[in-house]
Amino acid sequence: MTNYPSKFDWFFKYKLYHIPFWFAYHYCWWTVTIGSAWNAASNILSFSPYTVKYCFYVVFQAIGVYFNLYFLIPRFLEKGRYAQYIALLMVTIVCTAVFVALGYPVSAWLSEQTFEDLYHISHERYFYFFQVNTLPSTVASMTLAMSIKLTKNWIQSKRREQDLEKAKSELEKEKLETELKFLKSQFNPHFLFNTINSIFVLINKNPQMASDSLAKFSDILRYQLYECNEQQILLDQELNYLENFIELQKLRQDHSHVTVDIQMDIPHTGKLVIAPFILMPFVENAFKHVSRHRNGSNWITMKLRLDREMLRLEVSNSASPLQSSSSEFIRHRGIGLKNVQRRLDLLYPGKYTLVKENGDDQFRIALTLSLHERAMAEPAALTEQNATIDNLIHL
């Protein structure tokens, strides 16, 4: 026990609760032996010669038990010295039973009665008490104490294992959350930097497009700062964010002669949830690394389909052979895809497939992701926060 009132600290600290246990145990043993609980209690509480004999049982068997528990077991049994332990245990049991049996003649001597008068048996049959009473009682008390001790050790060992597993689980969870936050922090600034650059390019060339881009950027920034702080969000939120991102990028791609074909077959998302920013890196890579041919075709195609709980995303973009073989191109594209694949491994182990095809004239990626429903409350109103963000953006 570890949690108990402070006024009883001393009682448990010094294990004084063992004393009433041994008195109760031997009282029960005596009751079974003579067949009467009342007679056993009367003999003990009347301070008769039998009380002395009873105290011999309590004291010497307790000494034998604790000698076994705190000396023999730690020094021999726990160290694998089994033969020595068994031999010493047998000696301890016999010696304890002998000392307990001495209580019979001692009690007779203190009562100033003869052994035969007190116990109605000849003193030559002293060995009878050792064989019938003290030895079986000592074996029983040793067995009981060892059972309690070993059971207690087993329970403590199991609790330590459970605490260790719990601590390990919490450590793994904390490590996972830290790694996810790190991966997310690597990704978000990269996207914001690209978006701001896009708006900067449009300000002088087409103010109307720049205004539309700012509106989209406001929605995207609001999503990043407030709506995606959970590990799982509604699929609707992620798709709205993805649409805003695509519209923003399409405005930027008009002057680059890039054809963008987006096909989304999402009839109803229900309460399906998804990890935020899982889909967007694939689309962002397509816009970032699409070819820039002056006399050839430049294109991006995206197909997004939801079949019950199975989400399928396919993104392809044209690529120039020179660009595809560039080590710098491969390195930058590899970092983004590596990060998102690491997130998929952490969040959806065994629940996704990712196929990448890197050709001379195109790059294609296909993701199949198994989603699930979760009962979750709608986010609280963020009117004041959203207004603040809008004001900051439009300043």
* Element containing residue 298 per DSSP (H, E): strand 298-307
Q: Which residues contact 225 (CB under 8 A, 6 or more apart)?
A: 385, 389
The confidence score (pLDDT) of residue 380 equals 40
Per-residue pLDDT of 170-220, as tens digits, reads 767 666 666 656 555 555 565 567 667 777 777 887 788 778 778 877 887
Per-residue pLDDT of 220-238, as tens digits, reads 777 766 666 677 888 988 8
- The answer to which of 68-82, 154-168, 374-388 has the lowest mean pLDDT is 374-388
Instruction: Give CA–CA dist 304/241, Å, rounded.
Output: 14
The confidence score (pLDDT) of residue 340 equals 79
The confidence score (pLDDT) of residue 384 equals 44
Residue keyed to tokens 């439009």 = 394
Contact 268, 228 (CB under 8 A): no
Cβ neighbours of 101 (radius 10 Å) = 24
Instruction: Give CA–CA dist 234/269, Å, rounded.
Output: 8
- The answer to which of 194-203, 286-295, 343-352, 360-369 has the lowest mean pLDDT is 194-203
Confidence of residue 301 (pLDDT cuts 50, 70, 90): very high
Name the burial class of residue 109, with classes exposed (0-12), middle (13-18) and buried (19+) by CB atoms within 10 angstroms of its CB: middle
Q: What is the pTM of this model?
A: 0.47
8 pLDDT above the threshold of 50: yes
Contact 282, 338 (CB under 8 A): no
The confidence score (pLDDT) of residue 303 equals 94
Closest CA to 321 of 295, 360, 362, 364: 360
CA angle at residue 294 from 293 to 300, to 5 degrees?
A: 45
Question: At 278, is the secondary structure helix, strand, or coil?
Answer: coil
Q: Where are the domains of the chain?
A: 14-168, 206-394
Q: Which residues contact 353 (CB under 8 A, 6 or more apart)?
A: 366, 367, 368
User: Higher-confidence residue: 258 or 249?
Assistant: 258
The confidence score (pLDDT) of residue 325 equals 53
* Element containing residue 356 per DSSP (H, E): strand 352-358
111 pLDDT above the threshold of 80: no
Instruction: Give CA–CA dist 288/285, Å, rounded.
Output: 5
Confidence of residue 144 (pLDDT cuts 50, 70, 90): confident
27 pLDDT above the threshold of 80: no
The confidence score (pLDDT) of residue 364 equals 92
For 185, the token pair is 């922090």
Fold of 206-394: Heat Shock Protein 90 (3.30.565)
For 264, the token pair is 């989304």
The confidence score (pLDDT) of residue 42 equals 67
The confidence score (pLDDT) of residue 369 equals 95
CA angle at residue 274 from 266 to 222, to 5 degrees?
A: 90
